[in-house]
Amino acid sequence: MSIKKPMLIIGLCILFTGCATTSRAPADNIQGPTESSTDVGMRYLAGQGVPQDDAKAFYYLSKGAAEDDPFAENELGYMYAAGKGTPRDDEKALNYYQQAADHGLASAQYNLGLMYLHGRGTPPNKALAMQWFQKAAAHGFEPAKVALAQNHI
């Protein structure tokens, strides 16, 4: 498996997280009373109701991560892994995925497994990759189930 395929899969995780966020505030009032920093960051990342802007997405998602929001932590992991809105830094990506995974977020557990599998930000460790894929699969995260079923470890 090439490095491009895991990055595609990591990128797809943004779609799963994006579906879980709301987008109720109008563009001229970016952060309404019911909208979190993570919601705003996701809107900027996806260009939903606002112009797509990776730097603004990174700013708002950083605020969400500072509030211990696992969705924001996972997306910051993605942004560091992909170099979106910030320079690519696999160690920081690993750290944010770890934080979100420790909060029990299945997509982050899967992403963390990918990092261990491919040795991004850490030496490769197939045993840890398998553990994180199993945790994600136990939460019903379909890509983890597929990875385990296809024995990509």
39-89 pLDDT, tens per residue? Answer: 999 999 999 999 999 999 999 999 999 999 999 999 999 999 999 999 999
Tell me, yes or no, if the pTM score tops 0.85.
no
- Given a cut of 60, is residue 115 above it in pLDDT? yes
Please report, for the chain, the start and end positions of each structural domain, with discontinuous segments joined by +.
4-24+32-149
| Domain 4-24+32-149 superfamily per CATH | Tetratricopeptide repeat domain (1.25.40.10)
Instruction: Report the number of secondary-structure helices (H) and strands (E) in the chain.
Output: 8, 0
Tally of CB atoms within 10 A around 153 = 14
DSSP string, 55-94: HHHHHHHHHHHHTT-HHHHHHHHHHHHHTSSS---HHHHH
Report pLDDT for 68: 96
- Mean pLDDT computed over 112-129: 97
